[in-house]
Amino acid sequence: MKINCPTCSSEIPVANIDLSGKIAKCAACNNIFSFSSQIPVPDAQIRTSLGKPRNFEIERSADGLTIVRKWFTPTIIFLSFFCLFWNGFMAVWFYIALTKKIYAMALFGSLHGAVGLGLLYTVVAGFLNKTYIRIAYDSLSVKHRPLPSFGQRNMKRQDIKQLYSKEITQYHKHGYSHSYSVQAITRTGDVVALVSGLSTSEEALFLEQEIEKYLGIEDEPVRGEVPR
């Protein structure tokens, strides 16, 4: 079997191949890369390859791969109108309470005002924000920009043992909702949520697929994972 550099297509000499880590270095262009995708896999182990979701972009470079996920979904449009109504109502509420000096009324509305601010952030972030999953041969990072958000991650390649996709069910007063996340199992057995709040299982499975492919992680079944 021959290993070729994905950047310049040069054949890699045996001395520059690390079989245990499935990492190689090109003598021609100095590119360091995982060659796991060039290893033939028995038919029984092949999983169906998933296509890129519409709200995803992939940026490739010589030193890594960046997957960009847009936060915008059609639900954001509905939330925009609801947010406008809610905050408009609360603005009138506080105007009456403060001009009439009914401070108990203002205090009572403070919780609802906080909900309105949360809605406003969700709407603005939904229009502007993107998640950047940066994958290099020795590290992985997750960042949300331009508005700050929870869930920033920085991990070393050698700390990641396995990835899997998980469905999250949240119960509410009027029903329940589903979201999906990509989880990482570390060498020490800890579980870290890499990317959460994904809208569909296809988004989670695609991220899992691309990260595993680039880092050379052989997919293994995990109890409770989303089936592909």
* Final residue belonging to a domain, choices 94, 127, 160: 127
Q: Give the three-state DSSP class for 179.
A: strand
Q: Could you tell me if residue 137 is inside a domain?
A: no
What pLDDT does residue 97 have? 95
What pLDDT does residue 38 have? 76
Q: Could you tell me if residue 20 is inside a domain?
A: yes
Print the domain residue range for 119: 74-127
* Final residue belonging to a domain, choices 86, 104, 127: 127
Q: How many domains does the chain have?
A: 2
| Nearest alpha-carbon partner for 161 in 137, 129, 188 | 188
pLDDT average per 10 residues of sequence, the chain (228 residues): 84 83 85 77 55 92 91 93 96 95 93 96 96 92 94 93 92 79 94 93 94 89 86
What pLDDT does residue 69 have? 96
Cα gap 36→34, rounded to integer Å: 6
Q: Could you tell me if residue 13 is inside a domain?
A: yes
* 176 burial level (CB within 10 Å; 0-12, 13-18, 19+): exposed
Q: Could you tell me if residue 95 is inside a domain?
A: yes
Query: Which distant-in-sequence residues (6+ apart) come within 8 Å of 204 by Cβ?
Result: 165, 166, 180, 181, 182, 195, 198, 226
Q: Cα–Cα distances in Å, from 45 out to 40, 41, 90?
A: 10, 6, 57
The pTM for the full model equals: 0.73
What pLDDT does residue 171 have? 79
What pLDDT does residue 219 have? 87
Q: Could you tell me if residue 3 is inside a domain?
A: yes
* Final residue belonging to a domain, choices 82, 103, 127: 127
Angle ∠(207,190,46) on CA atoms, nearest 5? 40
Q: Could you tell me if residue 112 is inside a domain?
A: yes
**pLDDT tens track for 54-74:** 999 999 888 889 999 999 999
Token pair 């947010």 is found at 83
Q: Could you tell me if residue 83 is inside a domain?
A: yes
Cα gap 226→61, rounded to integer Å: 30
Q: Could you tell me if residue 66 is inside a domain?
A: no
What pLDDT does residue 50 have? 83
Query: Which distant-in-sequence residues (6+ apart) come within 8 Å of 215 by Cβ?
Result: 34, 135, 137, 140, 157, 160
| Nearest alpha-carbon partner for 182 in 161, 208, 200, 157 | 208
What pLDDT does residue 47 have? 57
Is residue 31 within 8 Å of 212, Cβ to Cβ?
Answer: no
**pLDDT tens track for 131-166:** 999 999 889 999 999 998 999 999 999 999 999 999
